[in-house]
Structure 1
Amino acid sequence: MNILHVIASCDRTEGGPVEGVFRLGDAFREMGHEQELLTLDHSDDAAVRDAPSVVHALGRKKSVSAGIASRALNWSRYSPAAVDWLREHADEYDGVIVDGLWNFSTRVARLGLQRSRTPYIVFSHGMLDPWFRSRYPLKHLAKSVLWQFNEGPLMRGAAAAAFTTERERDLAKALWRPWGITEQVVGYGTAAPPAESPSMKDAFQGRVSGLQAAPYLLFLGRIHEKKGGDILVNAFGDFWEGSDAHLVIAGPGDASFIATLRELAAKSGCAERIHWPGMLEGDEKWGALYGCDAMILPSHQENFGVVVAEALGCGRPVIISDQVNISGDVQRAQAGIICHDTRASVAEAMTRFFRLDAGAREAMGERGKRLFQTQFNIARTAEELVEILSHAKR
C-alpha cells in the first residue's frame, strides 16, 4: 500500500503532528507499505531535504516583506499548486491521511480529493478540543465558519475521522455541529526507543553543563504557553529550595516567550537550576530521557503527547497534567503522577515524586514501560489505519 499524508509542514521545529507522522512512516515500512508527504513547505527548505519520507513540497517561498498581505500569505501557506498536484496524483495512492486541521492543507485536501476514488482518513490530532475555544474565542469564531464549508465536509466525506482516545472523540462531538462523521479511535504512540547506550549520556551532557550527577526533571518539546511553560517554571520556583533537583527545559519555542520564562526563573531565585539546551535530537534526546528522574508535561491541553510515550518506553516515570488525554491510562497503570494544570498542583506533584524512594520510582518506571508496550507502540495505530483504508477500497 502506498499512503500519502497531507500536512501543513514537515518541519519538526514547528511542533504539531509531523513527528508522529514520521514514526508512522517507520511502522508502515516495517509492514511493507510506503509513505509520502504532500506539504506546504517550499522545496528548498532544509526540513524537506532532511525528512525521512519522500516529501512533495508545493508551498510558496516565505516572503521577507513586513506588509500585511505578505504576512497573511506566510501564515496561511496559501498554495493553489498543491491543490492542482493532489487532483492530478491522488489516484496514484492507495490511501490518503490528512493530518491536522485549520490550515490551508485541509483546503488542499477538500478540493484535491473531491473527485478522487482514493479513500482518505482525517486525523485531527486534538485540534477539535474545546480548550482552544475558551483560550482563543475570536479564532474559534473563524473556525466555526471554516467548519461549515471546509473542515466539516472534509471529515464527513472521509472513510473515517481518526481519534487518539475516546475522550478526544467525545469532546469533539460535543462541540462541533453538524457532526455526521464516521469515527474511529485508533490510539497513537511512537516507535520503541533505541537501547540505552553510553554515547547517549555523553551527547546529552555535551549540551547541558552544570548538571553532573544531579537529579533532574525533563520537559521536552515545543516551549509554548499551551504546554504550561509558565506554571512549570513558577512551580519549580516554589519547589526547588530544600531539594537538589534541577529542571531541563529542552525544545524550540518563541524567543520572547522563552525570555519571559527565564525572567520568571530569575525572580524565583532558581535560574541556576534550570537549563535551556534548545531542541534535542538523536542521542542527545535519548540521553536526556534515559537520564532524567521523571519527564514532566503540565499542559493545558494535550491530545496525546508523543514525548510522554517516549519517556514511558524508556522506563521513566512521568508527571503530567490531567489535561493530557492519556493521563487516565498513566494513572490506571500507576506509571506516574497526575496533577492539575496549576502552579500549586504541579509544585505539589514535584514534591510527591521526590519523596518517593528509589525503589518506588524504579517500579513506577517499569510499569510505564509495560504500558508503552501494550498501548503506545505506534505499530498498533499503523495497523488500524491500514485496515480502515483497506476496507474502504474493497
Structure 2
Amino acid sequence: MTSKKILHVVSSMDPVLGGVCKAVRIIATSLIQQGIVNEVVCLDHPNDDFVTKETFKLYALGKHNNPWGYHPKLLPWLQDHIHNYDYVIVHGLWLYNSFAVYKAFKRNQRALGLKHQKHPKYYVMPHGMLDPYFQKASGRRLKAIRNWLYWKGIENKVVNYGEGLLFTCEEERLLARKPFHPYHPKSELVVGLGVEAPPMYQPPMDAAFFNKCQGLEKRPYLLFLSRIHEKKGVDLLLEAYKKIRDNPSNNTILPALVIAGPGGDSEYGKKMMKFVSDDEKLKDSIFFPGMLAGDAKWGAFYNCVAFVLPSHQENFGIAIVEALACKKPVLISNQINIWKEIVEGKAGFVNDDTLNGTITLLNRWMDGSFNDKSVMAQQAEHCYKTCFSIEALIDNWTTKVLT
C-alpha cells in the first residue's frame, strides 16, 4: 500500500471557498498518514499563503481569471505528469479541471500504452454537484439549461470515461442518477468523508467564543454554523424561532440562537439581520458573531445544546459532523444527504426543509427530557465514530479505491 501515489486535481485550494478544497485536504492528509503519497495540482497563485504553508505537495500553476476556471498550463502539465501516479482524482464538476483530466487521458492513451507499464486510474468525485436540486431550484433556470447543454457536450464524457464516481454518502450516489443522461459510470463507490476528531475542550475556547457574543454567557443556545445564504434555510430558522416564541401555548423557554458564518454582508444576510433587529425580543436572543475559527469555533460547538441546519441542499455537511464529534445532537432537514445516517444513529432529529418542518425540529428538541438529550449526545458521538471518523474514511479508500 505504501507504493501508491495519488494526484488530486482541483480548481482551487483556497480555504475561503470551503467545500471541495476542505474535503481534498481531509482526504489527502488522512491517506498520507497511511504512507500513501498524495499530491494536488490546482489553479492558484504559487505565492498564495495557503499554498506555501500546505503540509503536502501542492502544484499551483497560477490563478485563472474566468468563470470556467480555464488555465493554459493545466492540460500540458497533466499530459506530462499523470503517468507518475497510480490514481488521479478529479474533484468537482462543471469547471475546466475535470475536462482537462479527461483530455489528458484521451491524448495520452496511446503514449501511455507504448511507454509505460502502468496506466493510472482516474476517478471523479462530484462533491454533490450532480444533485437534482441545482437543476430544479428557483432562480437557477438559466444555469440549469447551461448545465444540461454542458453535460451533453462535455461533462457526460468526463463522468462516463473514468474508472467511476466517488461519493461521500449513499444518498448522494442515488441522487446523482436523476438529473442527467446518458449517465453510466463504470462504477459508483461510496467512500464517505471523514472529519478529524475535534481538539479537547479547553477553557480558553469559552472566552474566544463568548467575546464574539456578548450577553450570551451562561445561556443555553442552539448553534447554526454555515454560510448565511438562502440555500441554508436561515430564513426558515428565524421565522420558525419567532413563531415558537410568539406562540401563547408554548410554556418552554427557548434557547438563544447563534447564527455564525460568513455572508452577513450579502443582500440576503442583511435582510436576515434586519428581521432580527426589527424585533426587540429577537434582538436579545439571536446573535450574529460572523465567521468563527480556531478556539472561537470550538467554543461555539462545545457550549451549544444542539446544532441546527434546515438547509435546502447539502451534500455532506462538515459542520454537522463536527457537531456530532463534539457530542452535540443535530437538528437538520432531510435535504442534507447524510440525514439517513443521523436517523439510523439516533443522533438528532430530521424533518422537511419547510417552515413547518423547522418548527417541528425545534419543538421536538424542546419537548425532550434532560435524560433523552443526554442519551442523544452519546449517540451523536457514536454516529461520528462509526460513520464519519478519519478511520472510517481511510478504511473506505483503502478497501474500495486503492486496490
TM-score under structure 1 normalisation? 0.90
Please, what is the CA RMSD of the aligned residues?
2.1
Q: Do structure 1's residue 84 and structure 2's residue 76 form an aligned pair?
A: yes
Is residue 59–residue 82 contact of structure 1 (8 Å, CA) maintained in 2?
no
1:145 aligns with 2:145: no
**2:51 corresponds to which of 19, 44, 48:** 48
CA displacement at 1:233 relative to structure 2: 2.1
Residues 1:228 and 2:225 are matched in the alignment: no
Q: Is 2:233 the counterpart of 1:261?
A: no
Q: Which runs of 5+ in 1 are unaligned?
A: 63-72
**Does 2:212 match 1:207?**
yes
Whether 2:397 is the aligned partner of 1:385: answer yes
**Aligned partner (choices 17, 22, 27) of residue 25 of structure 2:** 22
Asked if the contact 2:91–2:124 (Cα under 8 Å) also holds between the matched residues in 1, the reply is: yes
- Whether the 8 Å CA contact 2:223–2:301 is kept in 1: the answer is yes
Residue number among 189, 192, 195 corresponding to 1:190 in the alignment: 195
C-alpha distance in 2 between matches for 1:239 and 1:44: 51
User: Alpha-carbon deviation of 1:149?
Assistant: 3.1
In 2: Cα distance, 1:235 partner to 1:11 partner: 35
Which 4+ stretches in 1 moved above 6 angstroms? none
Among candidates 325, 336, 350, match of residue 313 of structure 1: 325
Q: Is the 8 A contact 1:237 1:268 kept in 2?
A: no
Aligned counterpart in structure 2 of residue 3 of structure 1, from 2, 6, 11: 6
CA distance in 2, matches of 1:47, 1:240: 44
Letter in 2 for 1:233: L
Q: Aligned runs of 1:1-394 on 2, under 5 Å?
A: 1-60=4-63, 62=65, 73=66, 75-114=67-106, 115=108, 117-135=119-137, 136-181=140-185, 182-240=187-245, 243-253=253-263, 255-256=265-266, 257-269=268-280, 270-391=282-403
Matched position secondary structure for 1:80: coil
Select between 35-44 and 152-161 the one with higher mean Cα deviation. 35-44
What displacement does 1:127 show? 0.9
Aligned counterpart, 1:67: none
Contact 1:13 1:222 (8 Å CA) reproduced: no
Instruction: Measure how far apart 1:361 and its partner are.
Output: 1.1
How many Å apart are 1:147 and its aligned residue? 1.6
Paired with 1:331 and 1:173, the residues of 2 have a C-alpha distance of: 23
Please identify, of 14-23 and 379-388, the stretch whose mean Cα deviation from structure 2 is larger: 379-388
Q: CA deviation at 1:205?
A: 2.1
Structure 2 unpaired stretches of 5+: 113-118, 247-251
How many equivalent pairs are there? 380
Deviation, 1:208, is 2.5
TM-score scaled by structure 2?
0.88
Q: 1:348 Cα shift?
A: 2.7
> Which segment drifts farther, 3-12 or 311-320?
3-12
- In the TM superposition, what is the alpha-carbon distance from 1:61 to its structure 2 partner? 6.1
C-alpha separation between the residues in 1 aligned to 2:373 and 2:161?
Answer: 47
Q: Deviations over 1:371-390 (max 9, x none)?
A: 11111113323333344443
For residues 245 and 373 of structure 2, what CA distance do their matches in structure 1 show?
19
Find the aligned partners of 2:155 and 2:298 in 1 and give their Cα distance: 37
User: Which amino acid is 1:162 matched to?
Assistant: L
